[in-house]
Amino acid sequence: MFNKTEENAVRYRRAQSVTKAEEITEKEKKARKSQLDKPCHKPRDSLFSWSSEFTNFTGLVNWGFLMLTIGGLRLCLENFLKYGIRVNPFEWFIVLTGHNEGYSHQYPSVILLIFSVVPAVTCLLIEKAIAVEILSQKLGVSLQIINMVSEISLPVIILYFKGTQFSFVGITTVCTIYLVLFLKLWSYCQTNHWCRLGMKGKQYKNTLRRQSLSAPNWKTLEDEKHDFVSAGLVKYPDNLTLKDLFYFLLAPTLCYELNFPRTTRIRKRFLIKRIIEVVFGVNLVMALFQQWMIPSVRNAVDPFSEMGIVKMTERLLKLAVPNHLIWLCFFYLSFHSFLNLMGELLHFADRNFYSDWWNANNISVFWSSWNMPVHLWAVRHVYIPMTEIGYTKGSASIVVFFISAFFHEYLVSVPLQMFRVWAFLGMMAQPPLSVISRVVEKKLGARWGNIIVWSSLILGQPLAIMMYYHDYALAHFAPQQ
């Protein structure tokens, strides 16, 4: 009985397998028949053709990063084998503070940074004197101009008489801080000036809008004063205090407002990340500068002096690589890590420090997106005031670039203690280059416009700075004839 049952089960399984095999065979026949019926060719473009609209190049991007990593490691090994380990963190303190062995008890860069408080407080005192009508409007504005011109000129004067006591990085830091302070005081004085004009009824076109209070505009009616008290808002002249001034000086912005947008708390994890990035980033930039940049600059002296076209081009391209890498590191360190760190500590809510400049399709878009604090300052305090008094937009743009070119020259020529015009000419070349990039974008497409932007960053500005390094190296490192 059991044998018959097993035989029946075996027969059943065999029948099922035969049935499934027949089904598979029928499906294969249908599939083959359908494949024979379908054409194997149809109109289509290759994937690398722009008209194919294929966009998934993730594998090639990974390949590119891998090749860049391998190339970077090779350059590091070549640098170490050729120059040895030149990184010396103990020298960084001397470089940053300006400490000189011949002046063992003097730190001129630190002294100048501390002294920067004096013109800021002077600016506040003048504003308070104007507010209480101790000084007239005309006299007060004249004193503010003298104060700001003296403030921006102080590093130049001190460096002229005490130049041997400063290091290059130390005086560069001082000039950068004094320039930032100059732009902040300009905004502080001009915004308070707009407030006074509004209170006196001299409301120029869009005067109240340009105050940008980040809150409802102040009101002149006494019976509405309690609205500001209950809302915690500040109005002129109650903003003229040391606390308000120093908050603005430390805040990551160049545009003064009576009421800044604030956050309600400090995100500890976010803050710790930014602190780590700042500490690591400063050390990385200094190490790259010491290990890579300085030897490359010194080696470039002879080819530049000999003016061999091929050798000079090779050295320029070689210098462009470390310069561009340091520029990218400095951008992330300054505009993301440091400014977000200050914003988090000060509860400053507006963190729009940069836009997607890497996607810029022309030069003008790049300049309006990579450094948002400076861009907003230029638009608010130079471009809009000029257009409102009758100047054309083109004229206002030229003035903005002229001011930017002057301060770029200031940040390079003053620390190097030699006047050149490479940075100034480089910035003044941006308006015509912007026109060219727009034409290329219009004729050839956005991709080629973006390529021009990146080309100008890699081969334009870095090479202009290299010209200064070359002249400096000739003056300090080249053998005397």
- Of 235, 248, 240, the closest CA to residue 199 belongs to 235
Rounded distance between C-alpha atoms, residue 182 and residue 148, angstroms: 6
Distance, CA of 341 to CA of 282 (rounded, Å): 14
Handedness of CA 269, 274, 280, 284 (dihedral sign): positive
Structure tokens at 251: 């805040």
Whole-angstrom distance, CA of residue 107 vs CA of residue 100:
8
- Is residue 347 part of the annotated active site? The answer reads no
Task: Measure CA 283 to chain center.
Answer: 19
C-alpha angle with apex 141: 135 to 147, nearest 5 degrees? 100
Tokens of 238: 């109650």
Of 436, 441, 404, 294, nearest to 412 by C-alpha is 404
- The torsion defined by the Cα of 154, 159, 161 and 163, in degrees rounded to 10, comes to 160
Q: How many CA atoms lie within 13 A of 219 on its CB side?
A: 11
CA–CA dist 339, 333 (Å, integer): 9
CA distance 52 to 45: 5
Q: Which of 99, 381, 408, 470 is catalytic?
A: 408
Widest CA span in the chain:
123
What residues pair up with 348 in beta bridges, in sequence order?
A: 262
**Size (the chain), residues:** 481
Q: Which amino acid is at 111?
A: I
Q: Which amino acid is residue 269, in one-letter code? A: R
Compute CA distances 457 → 48, 69, 222, 419, whole Å.
27, 21, 54, 23
**Is the backbone of residue 45 left (phi > 0), alpha (psi -120 to 50) or beta?**
beta
Tokens 């994890």 belong to residue: 269
CA dihedral 350, 206, 140, 151 (to 10 degrees): 40
Distance CA 61, CA 56 (A): 10
3-state SS class at 215: coil
Q: Which residues are catalytic?
A: 408
